[in-house]
Structure 1
Amino acid sequence: MRIAIVAESFLPHMNGVTNSLLHVLEHLARRGDDVLVVAPSGSTVAPYVPDQLAGFLPAPLATVVTEDDGPARVHGFPVHRLPSFALAGYPNVRVAAGTVGRVRRLLADFRPDVVHLASPFVLGWRAVQAANHLGIPTAAVYQTEVPAYAARYGVPWLEPRLWQRVQDIHRAATVTLAPSTFAHDQLLEHGVPRLALWRRGVDTTGFSPSRRDDALRAELAPDGQRLVGYVGRLAAEKQVEDLAVLGDAPGVRLVVVGSGPLKDALREKLPGAWFAGFRSGADLARIVASLDVFVHPGESETFCQTIQEAMASGVPVVATGRGGPLDLVDSSRTGWLYRPGDLTGMRERVLDLVGDDAKRAAFARAAHASVQGRTWPVLCDQLIGHYEDAMAAHRQVRPAAGRSLLRSRRG
């Protein structure tokens, strides 16, 4: 196939979108496909508010920063960068500037069989219009619940307008791939047609109970405390401050892995925690496997890849009962789900696992077993099937809005 991947964010910024795309690109390289990646530049441009964003995000929108663009090729595939600006308070998050015409010219020159829209919102909106102008099928991968961020960032009045943008993008796409049943149903309720499920893979070799590091545990918990950890961005939508209810929990040492705009504020709110900063690869796997319990308090997760990585590491999970975790955590078997906002409930469930070695071990074994078989090659093969379905559907008359055209591939 010839596949154009239009990414709302990409290297050098690492997040869930980038992580997924790297696995997809590796798989496409093994298959021998031809791929073009279109992504925002990491370099500085003069700050401004583009017309297409007017009214969607609060000012100030842009800050002047200097960054590297990242690699010009990834897994052998070229990366075409579009000028971008940085969001205030999030200098590593780039928003691409430019026009539909510019994206259309890129796609026309490359002549892809299908366009993969990775977490589309700004650049993805231009790309789906450009692809439709050229008659190219699109697979829009829903990955970020942007409207839910509005209240977290103090602009709740923006939520309806943000949902309108999500609806416009995904109604225009040939198919939308949702990462969880919660996200699928949420999009369906907002009138998005032609939905299918495409979950995420996990590296069950890299993340494994064998990565557990007793020396690290002895360093972090010299008195035998249980390590309770979080991995992810330190940003408002992740609700990491909720972990403060565990700050005085007996026999518990908090571990926080990640970076973001709230890192300094969180250090003040969680004074007893060990802040590891951003970690990746074998170093991240070592820390995750060394935890006793993994906690994820965020209520806006469409999937939550770090939960899968914890499970693959043989670590039981306590997570909020909304979004992606509903599919991942089998409550009372692989971990616990608690009612959104019920921080007392979160604390009780963490202490339940911390205080019961036999239960924690049983949950850990079940968690590890539950993700075996969810490897990236398996999930990427499913993605190829969705590409093929989108291409086939594009040759047919589009169904009426609200009808499901494409099947979910093995969940």
Structure 2
Amino acid sequence: MRIAIVAESFLPQMNGVVHSVLRVLEHLQERGDEVLVIAPAGEMGTGPEYVSGALVHRLPSMPMVGYAKVRVAFGAVPKVRRILKRFAPDVVHLASPFELGWRAVRAAHSLGIPTVAIYQTEVPSYAARYGVPFLENWAWERVEKIHLLADRTLAPSTFALNQLRGRGIFDAELWRRGVDTQRFNPAKRDGAWRASMTGGAGGRRKKIIGYVGRLAAEKQVEDLRVLADLPDTQLVIVGDGPLRPALEAQLPRAHFTGFQGGEDLARIVASFDLFVHPGEFETFCQTIQEAMASGVPVVATGRGGPLDLVENSKTGWLYTPGHLDELRSYVQDLIGDDAKRAAFAEAALRSVQGRTWSTICDQLVRHYDDVITARASLAVR
């Protein structure tokens, strides 16, 4: 089939949305589908022209205020309509639609092209974290309009699914995310790297508490300050973003690695003793799944996607949002008990087996087929 993927963000930026789109592109290339990606241009127009066989059509963009690496695309509905009409896709895939996606869903609707919208980012809830809480209701109205106009909405977790249904998007369906268990697995654990983080092989054996993700307001990384003085531990922060300088000042004992990808990231995650994630606005949280595949138990906030991924007292702990005393207590529980932590790690590893990207993307293609068939049947009537 011919598929147009409209992405709010894309390479060279890397985040959860881009990661999912890349895995989908790989799958569609293996199937032999023809794919067009419509995405914002990077700074100075940077970014590859083809990715996994798909042509990338870049739209002019500007940096988001307060987060320059995030680009917001220009291009009114008529421009997006012309791009879609020229490519003539069988279906349009809207990856975490908000600004560009809002234009694309209207353009596709006017052309009679079916759409599948992937709800992946809780943009409205970011408003308060970025100091503009008065925009939250407007943002939810935008999200509702997009998903009500789309032929099908897919959500990554039961929390996100219920959230959308509570907003009147009753036909939303569940579509989770895969994990590469070849890349992320316990065999990647690196003793030399661990020694470099904990003061050398001859020093006291510290436990490594790790976080992976953007260093941005919505991730609430500053909450990890309650772990800063835990004895015989080393906090490692993997990622980059606009808050890095402020976080380095708030967490002077933490080690900041900057952005890591590929095998370097897999090696680092497998070398953690415990993974922590304090963000309350995760619709899924792929990094939790990658930690589990690496044989690392998790302590995360009990809201959003982590509710589906972490099983309390088995694969990790979920703490009440905002209750940082619970975060500290659960971390102490696992860091201080090697046998319990090992049991949790083994259960975490078992829990993600079978969640391959191939299986997940096959499900997505079936959703494509469903909306194409439904739109064709309407045309015949």
Shorter-normalised TM-score: what interval? over 0.9
Equivalences for 1:248-267 in 2 at 5 Å?
A: 248-267=229-248
1:12–1:68 contact (8 Å) kept in structure 2: no
| Helix, strand or coil at the partner of 2:237 | strand
1: distance between equivalents of 2:98 and 2:352?
A: 30
2: distance between equivalents of 1:245 and 1:397?
A: 57
Per-residue CA deviation, residues 123-179 of structure 1 (Å, 9 max, x unaligned), is 000000000000010000001000110110111111111100000000000000000
Determine which of 148, 156, 163 is the counterpart of 2:140: 163
Determine which of 235, 241, 246 is the counterpart of 2:222: 241
Equivalences for 1:6-405 in 2 at 5 Å?
A: 6-43=6-43, 67-222=44-199, 223-396=204-377
1:227–1:253 contact (8 Å) kept in structure 2: yes
Residue 58 of structure 1: aligned partner: none
2: distance between equivalents of 1:215 and 1:136?
A: 53
Structure 2 counterpart of 1:19, one-letter code: H
| Helix, strand or coil at the partner of 2:170 | coil
> Residue 192 of structure 1: CA displacement?
1.2
Structure 1 counterpart of 2:233, one-letter code: V
Residue 2 of structure 2: aligned partner: 2
| Helix, strand or coil at the partner of 2:235 | strand
2: distance between equivalents of 1:312 and 1:334?
A: 11
2: distance between equivalents of 1:166 and 1:109?
A: 27
1: distance between equivalents of 2:175 and 2:227?
A: 34
> Residue 251 of structure 1: CA displacement?
1.6
> Residue 396 of structure 1: CA displacement?
4.7
> Residue 89 of structure 1: CA displacement?
2.2
> Residue 325 of structure 1: CA displacement?
0.1
> Residue 393 of structure 1: CA displacement?
2.6
2: distance between equivalents of 1:298 and 1:338?
A: 11
Aligned residues: 375
Per-residue CA deviation, residues 207-246 of structure 1 (Å, 9 max, x unaligned), is 0000000111112123211000100000000000000000
| Helix, strand or coil at the partner of 1:202 | coil
> Residue 397 of structure 1: CA displacement?
5.6
1:84–1:97 contact (8 Å) kept in structure 2: yes
> Residue 391 of structure 1: CA displacement?
1.4
| Helix, strand or coil at the partner of 1:395 | helix
Runs of 4+ with deviation above 2 angstroms: 392-398
| Helix, strand or coil at the partner of 1:368 | helix
> Structure 1 residues 34-43 or 359-368, which shifts more?
34-43
Computed over aligned residues only, the root mean square deviation of the Cα atoms, in angstroms, reads: 1.1
1:258–1:279 contact (8 Å) kept in structure 2: yes
2:165–2:171 contact (8 Å) kept in structure 1: no
Identity of aligned residues (%): 66
> Structure 1 residues 85-94 or 269-278, which shifts more?
85-94
> Residue 68 of structure 1: CA displacement?
4.4
| Helix, strand or coil at the partner of 2:248 | helix
2: distance between equivalents of 1:168 and 1:396?
A: 24
2: distance between equivalents of 1:381 and 1:236?
A: 34
> Residue 105 of structure 1: CA displacement?
0.7
> Residue 392 of structure 1: CA displacement?
2.2
1:198–1:379 contact (8 Å) kept in structure 2: yes
1:171–1:193 contact (8 Å) kept in structure 2: no
2: distance between equivalents of 1:338 and 1:187?
A: 24
2: distance between equivalents of 1:109 and 1:152?
A: 40
Structure 2 counterpart of 1:174, one-letter code: D
Structure 2 counterpart of 1:216, one-letter code: W
1: distance between equivalents of 2:45 and 2:328?
A: 42
Per-residue CA deviation, residues 231-268 of structure 1 (Å, 9 max, x unaligned), is 00000000000000000011211000000000000001
Q: TM-score when scaled to structure 1? A: 0.90
Q: Which runs of 5+ in 1 are unaligned?
A: 44-66, 399-411
2:118–2:155 contact (8 Å) kept in structure 1: yes
> Residue 75 of structure 1: CA displacement?
1.0
Question: Residues 194 and 395 (structure 1 numbering): CA distance in 2 closer, same or farther, change over 3 Å?
Answer: farther
2:39–2:57 contact (8 Å) kept in structure 1: yes
Q: TM-score when scaled to structure 2? A: 0.97
Residue 53 of structure 1: aligned partner: none
2: distance between equivalents of 1:331 and 1:343?
A: 17
